[in-house]
Structure 1
Amino acid sequence: MSTVPKRFEILVVPAHVEDRGGASVKDTAVRAAVVEATGERGNSGYPRYAGHGIVADIDPETRTVEAILLDGNELDYGLTALALDSTDG
């Protein structure tokens, strides 16, 4: 059985960017935050993470964001959320 990571870094980025002009995905994020495991499972069935106004259900094996709320709202059309391993402690 795999362990559930304690935290992830969430990046909210434009969904359809063809040329970042050499910038990294992190540099083009419109929002970024470290979220921590809440110990709960979301409606999607995946572990729930929260922090800095973001609540997300993340598949810990594929790092797929299955559900997300930003400040209580759904993600705006044209944006996508990515979950990265957190480099924060």
Structure 2
Amino acid sequence: MTTVPPRFEILLVAEFTEGDEGPPTAANALRSALVEATGETGASGYPHYAGSGMEADIDPETRTVEALLIDGYEVDYGLSVRVVDAPAV
């Protein structure tokens, strides 16, 4: 059974392009947010996370974002998100 992490950091980035060096970081993301597990399951069936204007259903095993709203809106084409470990508190 997969343990649900209590928090993640979501990074909103420009669409991945070949030749990008390394994974994105909060410093070079268009927007980032620390999201906390709400204890609920989202419509996708994965744990729901929320914080700093972002709401997401995240598969904790693969870190795939199955659903995402930013300030109540869906993400525009050409943008994507990455899920990374939340920085130590």
Q: Could you state the TM-score of these two structures normalised by the residue count of structure 1?
A: 0.89
Report the Cα distance in structure 2 between the residues aligned to 1:31 and 1:84, rounded to whole angstroms.
Answer: 13
Which position in structure 2 is the counterpart of 1:68?
68
| Matched position secondary structure for 1:81 | strand
Paired positions, count: 88
Report the Cα distance in structure 2 between the residues aligned to 1:88 and 1:69, rounded to whole angstroms.
Answer: 25
Q: How does 1:1-89 map to 2 (within 5 A)?
A: 1-20=1-20, 25-26=24-25, 27-89=27-89
User: Where does structure 2 lack aligned partners over 5 or more consecutive residues?
Assistant: none
Report the Cα distance in structure 2 between the residues aligned to 1:10 and 1:31, rounded to whole angstroms.
Answer: 8
Deviation per CA, 1:24-46: give whole Å up to 9, x if none. 61132100011000000111000
Q: Say if 1:60 and 1:24 are closer, same or farther in 2 by CA, change over 3 A.
A: closer
User: Where does structure 1 lack aligned partners over 5 or more consecutive residues?
Assistant: none
Q: Could you state the TM-score of these two structures normalised by the residue count of structure 2?
A: 0.89
Deviating runs (4+, > 6 A) in structure 1?
none
Most deviating of 27-36 and 54-63: 27-36
What residue identity is the alignment partner of 2:24?
Answer: V
What residue identity is the alignment partner of 1:34?
Answer: L
Report the Cα distance in structure 1 between the residues aligned to 2:12 and 2:36, rounded to whole angstroms.
Answer: 16
Task: Using the aligned pairs only, state the percent identity.
Answer: 57
What RMSD, in angstroms, separates the aligned Cα atoms of the two structures? 1.6
Deviation per CA, 1:30-86: give whole Å up to 9, x if none. 000110000001110000000000000000000111110000000011000111111
